[in-house]
Amino acid sequence: MPSAPNTVSTPVPAVNIYTDVFNLKAVSTFIDAIEQECSDSTGGLYWDDSFTGNGSLSDYRSSLACHLDLFMDPRQDSPVKSLFTQEIRNKIYECVNDYCEQYTVHHGLHEPFNLLKYSAGAHYRSHYDYGPDMHRVFSIVAYLKNTSTGGDLELPYFNTTIKAEENSVLIFPSSYPYTHYANHVVDGVKYSLVTWYR
């Protein structure tokens, strides 16, 4: 597997930002295909309200989520899954391999990918990704496409803001010191892809 992208920054300890990760044309084709599939009521993918970590729905989190569980099933195949695997998932895996090597991180499998859609006003308030029933080691946010203003990620305990820059992958520990929140999107749309390694 090729090495991770050369452009990596570490604004705070154990937080890596990988830039220039994806082919933007391929990402745009993927997003368009997902939107088309989600608009087809007979398709297997759909937009749903995002839930918080305890499985509840509240104004604490106001994005939409498209759960890509089908893409984890090796028996399922489609042009969209192939595009996702080659142009997005494999690029994220390169970043993960680099991160794990840099910090000597041991982990199991990751949870299914969720594609998140933040439209005007959408946000996710302060939270961290580890919990009693969610023994997550590190978190991944891939900013695929972003036409929005606002929507940046805040790490309050580090007094740090990370720009939601499309074509980048953010990897950070899931524990409470890395509490974070996604600021309100002012206008436009932000598409991000998330997963967590256990």
Q: Which residues contact 173 (CB under 8 A, 6 or more apart)?
A: 14, 137, 138, 139
pLDDT of residue 18: 98
User: What is this structure's pTM?
Assistant: 0.93
pLDDT confidence bin for 1, thresholds 50/70/90: very low
The label of the residue with tokens 């106001």 reads: 62
The burial class, CB within 10 Å (0-12 / 13-18 / 19+), for 45 is: buried
Cα separation, 184 vs 124, in Å, equals 8
Average pLDDT along the chain: 92
The token pair that represents 74 in the structure block: 């090796």
Quote the longest CA-to-CA distance of the chain.
45
pLDDT tens-digit profile of 57-96?
Answer: 557 789 999 999 988 888 888 899 999 999 999 999 999 9
The burial class, CB within 10 Å (0-12 / 13-18 / 19+), for 135 is: exposed
Burial 164-191 (b: 16+ CB within 10 A, else e): bebbbbbbbbbeeebebbbbbbeeebbb
pLDDT of residue 52: 65
The residue among 29 and 40 whose pLDDT is bigger is: 29
The label of the residue with tokens 């759909």 reads: 46
Three-class DSSP category at 186: strand
pLDDT of residue 2: 46
Side chain identity at residue 180, one-letter code: H
